[in-house]
Structure 1
Amino acid sequence: MTEAPPLPDWNALAAIEDSDLPLFGIGLLIARDEYPGLDVGACEDLVLTHARHLRPEIEAIEYGPLKMQAINRHLFEELGYTGDHERYYDPRNSYLNEVLERRLGNPISLAVVQMEVARRLGVALDGISFPGHFLVRLPVDDGMLVMDPFNSGRPLDLEELRTRAKPHLGGDVPDDDTLARILRPASHRTVLMRMLRNLLGVYQGARDWARVVRCADRLLKLAPDTPDALRDRGLGYLALGHIDGARQDMTRYLVRNPDADDAGELRAQLVRIGGGGRATH
Protein backbone atom coordinates (compact mmCIF):
# COMPACT_ATOMS: atom_id res chain seq x y z
CA MET A 1 0.00 0.00 0.00
CA THR A 2 1.22 3.49 -0.88
CA GLU A 3 1.84 5.68 2.15
CA ALA A 4 -0.99 8.20 2.19
CA PRO A 5 -0.24 11.89 2.67
CA PRO A 6 -1.38 13.21 6.05
CA LEU A 7 -4.83 14.75 6.07
CA PRO A 8 -5.00 18.50 6.58
CA ASP A 9 -5.73 20.09 9.96
CA TRP A 10 -9.23 21.56 10.19
CA ASN A 11 -7.90 24.56 12.11
CA ALA A 12 -5.52 25.48 9.28
CA LEU A 13 -8.02 25.48 6.42
CA ALA A 14 -9.38 29.02 6.70
CA ALA A 15 -5.93 30.48 5.95
CA ILE A 16 -5.27 28.31 2.88
CA GLU A 17 -5.93 29.76 -0.57
CA ASP A 18 -8.85 28.13 -2.39
CA SER A 19 -6.66 26.74 -5.14
CA ASP A 20 -4.31 25.14 -2.60
CA LEU A 21 -7.02 23.26 -0.71
CA PRO A 22 -6.62 19.52 -1.43
CA LEU A 23 -10.13 18.66 -2.56
CA PHE A 24 -9.90 14.88 -2.23
CA GLY A 25 -7.92 15.07 1.02
CA ILE A 26 -10.43 17.36 2.71
CA GLY A 27 -13.24 15.19 1.37
CA LEU A 28 -11.62 12.33 3.29
CA LEU A 29 -11.24 14.61 6.31
CA ILE A 30 -15.02 15.17 6.24
CA ALA A 31 -15.50 11.40 6.08
CA ARG A 32 -13.15 10.80 9.01
CA ASP A 33 -15.49 12.80 11.26
CA GLU A 34 -18.07 10.07 10.73
CA TYR A 35 -15.58 7.17 10.41
CA PRO A 36 -12.74 7.80 12.90
CA GLY A 37 -11.00 4.59 11.82
CA LEU A 38 -11.01 5.62 8.16
CA ASP A 39 -8.20 3.98 6.18
CA VAL A 40 -6.93 6.97 4.24
CA GLY A 41 -4.27 4.88 2.51
CA ALA A 42 -6.84 2.45 1.14
CA CYS A 43 -8.89 5.31 -0.31
CA GLU A 44 -5.81 6.89 -1.88
CA ASP A 45 -4.73 3.51 -3.28
CA LEU A 46 -8.09 2.89 -4.89
CA VAL A 47 -8.08 6.22 -6.73
CA LEU A 48 -4.46 5.65 -7.71
CA THR A 49 -5.39 2.21 -9.09
CA HIS A 50 -8.15 3.77 -11.21
CA ALA A 51 -5.67 6.30 -12.61
CA ARG A 52 -2.92 3.73 -13.23
CA HIS A 53 -5.30 1.53 -15.16
CA LEU A 54 -6.25 4.44 -17.40
CA ARG A 55 -2.84 6.07 -17.84
CA PRO A 56 -1.61 4.16 -20.96
CA GLU A 57 -4.89 4.79 -22.76
CA ILE A 58 -5.10 8.46 -21.72
CA GLU A 59 -1.49 9.17 -22.72
CA ALA A 60 -2.20 7.78 -26.20
CA ILE A 61 -5.12 10.20 -26.71
CA GLU A 62 -4.51 13.83 -27.67
CA TYR A 63 -8.02 15.34 -27.69
CA GLY A 64 -9.36 16.27 -24.23
CA PRO A 65 -12.97 15.17 -24.71
CA LEU A 66 -11.79 11.73 -25.86
CA LYS A 67 -9.60 11.46 -22.76
CA MET A 68 -12.67 12.31 -20.69
CA GLN A 69 -14.74 9.77 -22.58
CA ALA A 70 -12.22 7.06 -21.65
CA ILE A 71 -12.19 8.14 -17.98
CA ASN A 72 -15.98 8.12 -17.83
CA ARG A 73 -16.22 4.74 -19.55
CA HIS A 74 -13.86 3.18 -17.00
CA LEU A 75 -15.46 4.79 -13.93
CA PHE A 76 -19.12 4.52 -14.82
CA GLU A 77 -19.34 1.53 -17.15
CA GLU A 78 -16.47 -0.77 -16.20
CA LEU A 79 -16.24 -0.01 -12.46
CA GLY A 80 -19.93 0.73 -11.99
CA TYR A 81 -19.88 4.09 -10.20
CA THR A 82 -23.40 5.47 -10.34
CA GLY A 83 -25.76 7.95 -8.76
CA ASP A 84 -27.87 6.65 -5.90
CA HIS A 85 -31.31 7.42 -7.33
CA GLU A 86 -33.14 5.26 -4.79
CA ARG A 87 -31.65 6.69 -1.57
CA TYR A 88 -30.43 10.05 -2.73
CA TYR A 89 -30.31 11.53 0.79
CA ASP A 90 -28.48 8.63 2.38
CA PRO A 91 -25.57 10.35 4.18
CA ARG A 92 -23.22 7.63 2.95
CA ASN A 93 -23.53 9.23 -0.49
CA SER A 94 -21.56 12.23 0.81
CA TYR A 95 -18.69 10.33 2.46
CA LEU A 96 -15.90 9.54 0.00
CA ASN A 97 -14.83 6.28 1.66
CA GLU A 98 -18.38 4.96 1.28
CA VAL A 99 -18.63 6.23 -2.29
CA LEU A 100 -15.40 4.45 -3.20
CA GLU A 101 -16.49 1.22 -1.50
CA ARG A 102 -20.14 1.13 -2.60
CA ARG A 103 -19.58 2.93 -5.92
CA LEU A 104 -22.74 4.87 -5.16
CA GLY A 105 -22.91 8.58 -4.52
CA ASN A 106 -24.62 11.88 -5.03
CA PRO A 107 -23.65 14.34 -7.79
CA ILE A 108 -20.95 16.16 -5.86
CA SER A 109 -19.24 13.13 -4.31
CA LEU A 110 -19.12 11.35 -7.67
CA ALA A 111 -17.75 14.55 -9.21
CA VAL A 112 -14.97 14.67 -6.60
CA VAL A 113 -13.93 11.10 -7.45
CA GLN A 114 -14.15 11.87 -11.18
CA MET A 115 -12.11 15.09 -10.76
CA GLU A 116 -9.47 13.38 -8.62
CA VAL A 117 -8.92 10.58 -11.14
CA ALA A 118 -8.79 13.15 -13.96
CA ARG A 119 -6.33 15.32 -12.00
CA ARG A 120 -3.95 12.42 -11.55
CA LEU A 121 -4.06 11.89 -15.32
CA GLY A 122 -3.41 15.54 -16.14
CA VAL A 123 -6.94 16.22 -17.36
CA ALA A 124 -8.19 19.68 -16.31
CA LEU A 125 -11.64 18.81 -15.03
CA ASP A 126 -13.44 21.39 -12.85
CA GLY A 127 -16.61 21.33 -10.80
CA ILE A 128 -19.65 23.53 -11.46
CA SER A 129 -21.79 24.50 -8.50
CA PHE A 130 -24.87 24.28 -10.71
CA PRO A 131 -28.26 24.82 -9.05
CA GLY A 132 -29.82 21.47 -8.26
CA HIS A 133 -27.28 18.85 -9.32
CA PHE A 134 -23.55 19.48 -9.23
CA LEU A 135 -21.86 19.18 -12.64
CA VAL A 136 -18.32 19.11 -14.06
CA ARG A 137 -16.70 20.92 -16.99
CA LEU A 138 -13.75 20.37 -19.29
CA PRO A 139 -12.25 23.20 -21.39
CA VAL A 140 -12.61 22.52 -25.11
CA ASP A 141 -11.12 24.99 -27.60
CA ASP A 142 -13.10 28.22 -26.96
CA GLY A 143 -15.86 26.52 -25.02
CA MET A 144 -16.43 23.69 -22.58
CA LEU A 145 -17.81 20.18 -22.30
CA VAL A 146 -20.31 19.98 -19.42
CA MET A 147 -21.05 16.56 -17.92
CA ASP A 148 -23.35 15.06 -15.30
CA PRO A 149 -21.44 12.69 -12.97
CA PHE A 150 -24.69 11.55 -11.33
CA ASN A 151 -25.77 10.10 -14.67
CA SER A 152 -22.61 8.33 -15.86
CA GLY A 153 -20.85 11.52 -16.94
CA ARG A 154 -23.40 12.19 -19.68
CA PRO A 155 -22.65 15.36 -21.71
CA LEU A 156 -25.25 18.14 -21.47
CA ASP A 157 -26.04 20.57 -24.28
CA LEU A 158 -27.04 24.23 -23.87
CA GLU A 159 -30.76 23.55 -24.16
CA GLU A 160 -30.70 21.01 -21.33
CA LEU A 161 -28.55 23.29 -19.16
CA ARG A 162 -31.03 26.13 -19.62
CA THR A 163 -33.92 23.77 -18.80
CA ARG A 164 -32.20 22.51 -15.66
CA ALA A 165 -31.40 26.02 -14.45
CA LYS A 166 -34.87 27.46 -15.12
CA PRO A 167 -36.69 26.18 -11.97
CA HIS A 168 -33.94 27.67 -9.78
CA LEU A 169 -34.23 31.11 -11.42
CA GLY A 170 -37.88 31.79 -10.67
CA GLY A 171 -38.97 30.05 -13.85
CA ASP A 172 -36.90 32.33 -16.10
CA VAL A 173 -34.79 30.80 -18.86
CA PRO A 174 -31.21 31.99 -18.29
CA ASP A 175 -29.72 34.18 -21.00
CA ASP A 176 -26.18 33.65 -22.23
CA ASP A 177 -24.56 35.87 -19.59
CA THR A 178 -26.49 34.29 -16.72
CA LEU A 179 -25.71 30.79 -17.91
CA ALA A 180 -22.03 31.67 -18.34
CA ARG A 181 -21.91 32.84 -14.70
CA ILE A 182 -23.60 29.65 -13.51
CA LEU A 183 -21.10 27.54 -15.46
CA ARG A 184 -18.00 29.14 -13.98
CA PRO A 185 -15.58 26.69 -12.30
CA ALA A 186 -16.31 26.20 -8.61
CA SER A 187 -13.42 26.79 -6.23
CA HIS A 188 -12.33 23.91 -4.04
CA ARG A 189 -13.70 25.74 -1.01
CA THR A 190 -17.07 26.10 -2.72
CA VAL A 191 -17.16 22.38 -3.56
CA LEU A 192 -16.28 21.35 0.01
CA MET A 193 -18.80 23.72 1.53
CA ARG A 194 -21.51 22.37 -0.74
CA MET A 195 -20.62 18.83 0.37
CA LEU A 196 -20.95 19.89 4.00
CA ARG A 197 -24.22 21.74 3.39
CA ASN A 198 -25.65 18.62 1.76
CA LEU A 199 -24.79 16.63 4.87
CA LEU A 200 -26.06 19.34 7.18
CA GLY A 201 -29.40 19.36 5.37
CA VAL A 202 -29.69 15.57 5.65
CA TYR A 203 -28.99 15.69 9.39
CA GLN A 204 -31.37 18.60 9.95
CA GLY A 205 -34.10 16.53 8.32
CA ALA A 206 -33.27 13.64 10.66
CA ARG A 207 -33.09 16.02 13.67
CA ASP A 208 -29.61 14.68 14.35
CA TRP A 209 -28.44 17.82 16.10
CA ALA A 210 -25.00 16.61 17.11
CA ARG A 211 -24.12 16.01 13.46
CA VAL A 212 -25.78 19.29 12.44
CA VAL A 213 -23.46 21.08 14.87
CA ARG A 214 -20.46 19.17 13.53
CA CYS A 215 -21.22 20.01 9.90
CA ALA A 216 -21.85 23.67 10.71
CA ASP A 217 -18.64 23.83 12.70
CA ARG A 218 -16.69 22.36 9.76
CA LEU A 219 -18.21 24.96 7.45
CA LEU A 220 -16.95 27.64 9.81
CA LYS A 221 -13.48 26.05 9.79
CA LEU A 222 -13.42 26.46 6.01
CA ALA A 223 -14.98 29.93 5.96
CA PRO A 224 -15.31 31.57 9.39
CA ASP A 225 -17.65 34.33 8.18
CA THR A 226 -20.38 32.01 6.88
CA PRO A 227 -23.61 33.35 8.44
CA ASP A 228 -25.91 30.38 7.79
CA ALA A 229 -23.39 28.01 9.38
CA LEU A 230 -23.19 30.23 12.46
CA ARG A 231 -26.98 30.25 12.74
CA ASP A 232 -27.29 26.51 12.17
CA ARG A 233 -24.62 25.70 14.73
CA GLY A 234 -26.38 27.94 17.25
CA LEU A 235 -29.74 26.28 16.64
CA GLY A 236 -28.10 22.86 16.89
CA TYR A 237 -26.52 23.81 20.19
CA LEU A 238 -29.92 25.00 21.39
CA ALA A 239 -31.57 21.69 20.47
CA LEU A 240 -28.80 19.85 22.36
CA GLY A 241 -29.23 22.06 25.44
CA HIS A 242 -25.85 23.79 25.09
CA ILE A 243 -27.25 27.19 25.98
CA ASP A 244 -24.00 29.17 26.16
CA GLY A 245 -22.91 28.02 22.72
CA ALA A 246 -26.37 28.69 21.29
CA ARG A 247 -26.45 32.17 22.78
CA GLN A 248 -23.00 33.07 21.46
CA ASP A 249 -23.62 31.83 17.93
CA MET A 250 -27.09 33.31 17.54
CA THR A 251 -25.93 36.64 18.96
CA ARG A 252 -22.99 36.78 16.54
CA TYR A 253 -25.31 35.89 13.66
CA LEU A 254 -27.72 38.70 14.52
CA VAL A 255 -24.96 41.26 15.00
CA ARG A 256 -23.78 40.47 11.47
CA ASN A 257 -27.26 40.04 9.96
CA PRO A 258 -29.70 42.25 11.91
CA ASP A 259 -32.18 42.38 9.03
CA ALA A 260 -32.16 38.68 8.15
CA ASP A 261 -35.54 37.07 7.44
CA ASP A 262 -35.17 34.87 10.51
CA ALA A 263 -33.89 37.64 12.80
CA GLY A 264 -37.18 38.04 14.67
CA GLU A 265 -37.43 34.33 15.40
CA LEU A 266 -33.84 34.18 16.62
CA ARG A 267 -34.28 37.25 18.83
CA ALA A 268 -37.27 35.54 20.42
CA GLN A 269 -35.17 32.43 21.03
CA LEU A 270 -32.46 34.56 22.65
CA VAL A 271 -34.97 36.22 24.95
CA ARG A 272 -36.30 32.80 25.90
CA ILE A 273 -32.82 31.50 26.85
CA GLY A 274 -31.72 34.68 28.53
CA GLY A 275 -29.96 36.48 25.71
CA GLY A 276 -32.06 39.61 26.08
CA GLY A 277 -31.93 42.22 23.37
CA ARG A 278 -28.17 42.25 23.14
CA ALA A 279 -28.27 40.36 19.85
CA THR A 280 -29.08 43.48 17.87
CA HIS A 281 -26.27 45.67 19.19
Structure 2
Amino acid sequence: MEQWSTGNPSVARDEVLSSIREVLAEREGFWGDLEDYHKPRNNFLNDVLDRRIGLPITLSLVYMEVSRRLGVLAQGIRLPGHFIVGWPPAAAGSQIRYLDPYHGGRELIFDDCRGLFQQLVDTEAPFGRDLLRPVRKRALIARILRNLKMRYVTGRRFDLALDAVERILLVELLPTQVRDRGVILAQMGELSAA
Protein backbone atom coordinates (compact mmCIF):
# COMPACT_ATOMS: atom_id res chain seq x y z
CA MET A 1 0.00 0.00 0.00
CA GLU A 2 2.84 2.37 0.81
CA GLN A 3 4.17 2.13 -2.72
CA TRP A 4 1.01 3.90 -3.93
CA SER A 5 1.15 6.64 -1.30
CA THR A 6 2.54 9.28 -3.61
CA GLY A 7 0.42 12.06 -2.20
CA ASN A 8 -1.32 12.44 -5.55
CA PRO A 9 -4.63 10.51 -5.49
CA SER A 10 -4.83 10.32 -9.31
CA VAL A 11 -1.37 8.77 -9.58
CA ALA A 12 -2.14 6.33 -6.76
CA ARG A 13 -5.42 5.30 -8.38
CA ASP A 14 -3.88 4.92 -11.82
CA GLU A 15 -1.01 2.82 -10.46
CA VAL A 16 -3.45 0.58 -8.59
CA LEU A 17 -5.52 0.12 -11.77
CA SER A 18 -2.47 -0.78 -13.84
CA SER A 19 -1.33 -3.24 -11.18
CA ILE A 20 -4.77 -4.82 -10.84
CA ARG A 21 -5.01 -5.34 -14.59
CA GLU A 22 -1.47 -6.68 -14.82
CA VAL A 23 -1.86 -9.12 -11.92
CA LEU A 24 -5.43 -10.32 -12.50
CA ALA A 25 -5.55 -10.51 -16.29
CA GLU A 26 -1.97 -10.95 -17.42
CA ARG A 27 -0.33 -12.83 -14.57
CA GLU A 28 -3.26 -14.77 -13.04
CA GLY A 29 -5.28 -15.18 -16.24
CA PHE A 30 -8.70 -13.86 -15.15
CA TRP A 31 -10.78 -13.61 -18.35
CA GLY A 32 -14.31 -14.05 -19.54
CA ASP A 33 -15.63 -17.51 -20.33
CA LEU A 34 -15.54 -17.32 -24.10
CA GLU A 35 -16.37 -21.02 -24.57
CA ASP A 36 -19.50 -21.48 -22.44
CA TYR A 37 -20.77 -18.08 -21.29
CA HIS A 38 -24.07 -19.48 -20.00
CA LYS A 39 -22.65 -22.02 -17.54
CA PRO A 40 -24.29 -21.47 -14.14
CA ARG A 41 -20.93 -21.85 -12.43
CA ASN A 42 -19.77 -18.59 -14.07
CA ASN A 43 -22.07 -16.88 -11.54
CA PHE A 44 -20.45 -18.47 -8.48
CA LEU A 45 -17.61 -16.37 -7.13
CA ASN A 46 -15.81 -19.37 -5.63
CA ASP A 47 -15.79 -21.10 -9.04
CA VAL A 48 -14.65 -17.90 -10.75
CA LEU A 49 -11.74 -17.61 -8.32
CA ASP A 50 -10.78 -21.28 -8.79
CA ARG A 51 -11.14 -21.38 -12.58
CA ARG A 52 -10.16 -17.75 -13.27
CA ILE A 53 -12.94 -17.42 -15.80
CA GLY A 54 -16.44 -16.07 -15.42
CA LEU A 55 -19.07 -13.58 -16.43
CA PRO A 56 -18.50 -9.83 -16.71
CA ILE A 57 -20.31 -9.24 -13.42
CA THR A 58 -18.44 -11.85 -11.38
CA LEU A 59 -15.06 -10.85 -12.79
CA SER A 60 -15.96 -7.23 -12.01
CA LEU A 61 -16.60 -8.25 -8.40
CA VAL A 62 -13.07 -9.67 -8.23
CA TYR A 63 -11.59 -6.42 -9.58
CA MET A 64 -13.74 -4.33 -7.23
CA GLU A 65 -12.71 -6.31 -4.15
CA VAL A 66 -9.00 -6.24 -5.00
CA SER A 67 -9.25 -2.49 -5.57
CA ARG A 68 -11.10 -2.02 -2.27
CA ARG A 69 -8.43 -3.97 -0.41
CA LEU A 70 -5.82 -1.66 -1.94
CA GLY A 71 -7.73 1.37 -0.66
CA VAL A 72 -9.14 2.58 -3.98
CA LEU A 73 -12.91 2.78 -4.49
CA ALA A 74 -14.19 0.85 -7.50
CA GLN A 75 -17.81 0.74 -8.66
CA GLY A 76 -19.77 -1.78 -10.68
CA ILE A 77 -21.21 -0.27 -13.86
CA ARG A 78 -24.19 -2.01 -15.45
CA LEU A 79 -24.46 -1.79 -19.20
CA PRO A 80 -27.27 -3.55 -21.05
CA GLY A 81 -25.89 -7.05 -21.61
CA HIS A 82 -22.51 -6.35 -20.01
CA PHE A 83 -20.85 -5.22 -16.79
CA ILE A 84 -17.66 -3.21 -16.27
CA VAL A 85 -15.82 -1.53 -13.40
CA GLY A 86 -15.43 2.21 -12.94
CA TRP A 87 -13.07 4.18 -10.76
CA PRO A 88 -14.33 7.69 -9.95
CA PRO A 89 -12.10 10.72 -10.48
CA ALA A 90 -9.44 10.68 -7.78
CA ALA A 91 -8.83 14.42 -7.85
CA ALA A 92 -10.11 17.55 -9.54
CA GLY A 93 -9.35 17.40 -13.23
CA SER A 94 -8.90 13.64 -13.39
CA GLN A 95 -11.20 11.39 -15.40
CA ILE A 96 -13.35 8.40 -14.56
CA ARG A 97 -11.47 5.24 -15.53
CA TYR A 98 -13.24 2.11 -16.80
CA LEU A 99 -11.95 -1.45 -17.16
CA ASP A 100 -13.63 -4.42 -18.79
CA PRO A 101 -12.59 -7.48 -16.72
CA TYR A 102 -14.33 -9.87 -19.13
CA HIS A 103 -11.92 -8.85 -21.89
CA GLY A 104 -8.73 -9.06 -19.84
CA GLY A 105 -9.09 -5.77 -18.02
CA ARG A 106 -9.16 -3.76 -21.24
CA GLU A 107 -9.32 -0.06 -20.46
CA LEU A 108 -12.32 1.77 -21.87
CA ILE A 109 -12.97 5.43 -22.47
CA PHE A 110 -16.46 6.89 -22.86
CA ASP A 111 -16.52 6.28 -26.64
CA ASP A 112 -15.48 2.64 -26.09
CA CYS A 113 -18.40 2.24 -23.67
CA ARG A 114 -20.73 3.72 -26.30
CA GLY A 115 -19.40 1.31 -28.93
CA LEU A 116 -19.81 -1.65 -26.59
CA PHE A 117 -23.37 -0.56 -25.82
CA GLN A 118 -24.27 -0.25 -29.50
CA GLN A 119 -22.67 -3.61 -30.28
CA LEU A 120 -24.59 -5.37 -27.49
CA VAL A 121 -27.92 -3.64 -27.99
CA ASP A 122 -27.61 -3.65 -31.80
CA THR A 123 -29.31 -0.32 -32.14
CA GLU A 124 -28.66 3.35 -32.58
CA ALA A 125 -30.30 4.05 -29.21
CA PRO A 126 -28.90 7.13 -27.52
CA PHE A 127 -26.03 6.52 -25.15
CA GLY A 128 -25.26 8.94 -22.37
CA ARG A 129 -23.32 9.12 -19.14
CA ASP A 130 -26.51 8.14 -17.29
CA LEU A 131 -25.95 4.58 -18.58
CA LEU A 132 -22.59 4.51 -16.79
CA ARG A 133 -23.97 5.05 -13.31
CA PRO A 134 -22.66 2.79 -10.55
CA VAL A 135 -24.99 0.08 -9.29
CA ARG A 136 -25.75 -0.52 -5.65
CA LYS A 137 -24.54 -3.71 -4.03
CA ARG A 138 -28.08 -5.08 -3.71
CA ALA A 139 -28.69 -4.54 -7.42
CA LEU A 140 -25.43 -6.29 -8.23
CA ILE A 141 -26.36 -9.32 -6.11
CA ALA A 142 -29.86 -9.39 -7.60
CA ARG A 143 -28.43 -9.34 -11.13
CA ILE A 144 -26.21 -12.34 -10.41
CA LEU A 145 -29.19 -14.20 -8.93
CA ARG A 146 -31.37 -13.31 -11.95
CA ASN A 147 -28.62 -14.68 -14.21
CA LEU A 148 -28.70 -17.93 -12.25
CA LYS A 149 -32.48 -18.11 -12.31
CA MET A 150 -32.50 -17.66 -16.08
CA ARG A 151 -29.81 -20.32 -16.59
CA TYR A 152 -31.68 -22.80 -14.40
CA VAL A 153 -35.06 -22.16 -16.03
CA THR A 154 -33.48 -22.59 -19.47
CA GLY A 155 -31.93 -25.86 -18.29
CA ARG A 156 -35.27 -26.93 -16.76
CA ARG A 157 -33.68 -27.13 -13.31
CA PHE A 158 -36.73 -25.64 -11.62
CA ASP A 159 -35.65 -26.65 -8.10
CA LEU A 160 -32.49 -24.55 -8.48
CA ALA A 161 -34.40 -21.76 -10.23
CA LEU A 162 -36.75 -21.65 -7.24
CA ASP A 163 -33.76 -21.38 -4.88
CA ALA A 164 -32.46 -18.46 -6.95
CA VAL A 165 -35.79 -16.62 -7.06
CA GLU A 166 -36.24 -17.09 -3.29
CA ARG A 167 -32.88 -15.39 -2.78
CA ILE A 168 -33.79 -12.62 -5.22
CA LEU A 169 -36.90 -11.92 -3.16
CA LEU A 170 -34.67 -11.44 -0.09
CA VAL A 171 -32.73 -8.76 -1.95
CA GLU A 172 -35.53 -7.06 -3.91
CA LEU A 173 -39.22 -7.69 -3.46
CA LEU A 174 -40.53 -7.04 -6.96
CA PRO A 175 -43.85 -8.20 -8.44
CA THR A 176 -42.02 -9.76 -11.41
CA GLN A 177 -40.04 -11.99 -9.08
CA VAL A 178 -43.17 -12.99 -7.14
CA ARG A 179 -44.74 -13.88 -10.50
CA ASP A 180 -41.67 -15.85 -11.56
CA ARG A 181 -41.76 -17.74 -8.27
CA GLY A 182 -45.35 -18.78 -9.03
CA VAL A 183 -44.51 -19.81 -12.59
CA ILE A 184 -41.56 -21.90 -11.41
CA LEU A 185 -43.67 -23.57 -8.71
CA ALA A 186 -46.31 -24.37 -11.34
CA GLN A 187 -43.61 -25.90 -13.57
CA MET A 188 -42.64 -28.07 -10.60
CA GLY A 189 -46.25 -29.22 -10.20
CA GLU A 190 -46.69 -27.28 -6.94
CA LEU A 191 -49.93 -25.61 -8.04
CA SER A 192 -51.25 -24.88 -4.54
CA ALA A 193 -48.01 -23.10 -3.60
CA ALA A 194 -47.94 -21.23 -6.90
Report the TM-score when normalising by structure 2. 0.89
**Same amino acid, percent of matched pairs:** 35
Equivalent residue number for residue 181 of structure 2: 233
1:143 CA drift (Å): 3.2
Q: Is the 8 A contact 2:158 2:184 kept in 1?
A: yes
Write the letter of the residue equivalent to 1:65. Answer: D
1: CA distance, partners of 2:131 / 2:107: 17
Alpha-carbon distance in 2 for matches of 1:167, 1:101: 30
Unpaired stretches in structure 1, ≥5 consecutive residues: 1-54, 247-281
Instruction: Give the CA RMSD over aligned residues.
Output: 1.9
Tell me by how many angstroms 1:146 deviates: 1.4
Structure 2 CA distance for partners of 1:56 and 1:77, relative to 1, 3 Å: farther
Residue 108 of structure 1 is matched in structure 2 by 57
The AA in structure 1 aligned to 2:188 is L
Distance 1:90 1:214 in 2: 17
Aligned match for 1:218, one of 143, 167, 184: 167
Q: Does the Cα contact within 8 Å between 1:83 and 1:150 map onto a contact in 2? A: yes
2:145 aligns with 196
Is the Cα contact below 8 Å between 2:81 and 2:121 reproduced in 1? no
- Contact 1:162/1:173, CA 8 A, preserved across alignment: no
* Farther-moved stretch of structure 1 (140-149 vs 193-202): 140-149
Count residues with an aligned counterpart.
188
CA distance in 1, matches of 2:4, 2:182: 48
Alpha-carbon separation, structure 2, partners of 1:57 and 1:231: 52
> Residues 99-133 of structure 1, C-alpha deviation per residue, up to 9 Å, x if partnerless?
11111111000111111111111111100011111
User: Where does the alignment leave 5 or more consecutive residues of structure 2 unmatched?
Assistant: none
**Are 1:80 and 2:32 counterparts?**
no
SS at match of 2:144: helix
Greater helix content: 1
Instruction: Report if the CA contact (8 A) 2:75-2:135 is conserved.
Output: yes
Relative to the length of structure 1, the TM-score reads 0.63
The alignment status of 1:186 with 2:138, answered yes or no, reads no
Aligned partners of 1:108, 1:61: CA distance in 2, in Å? Answer: 32
Kept in 2, the 8 Å contact 1:126–1:137? The answer is yes
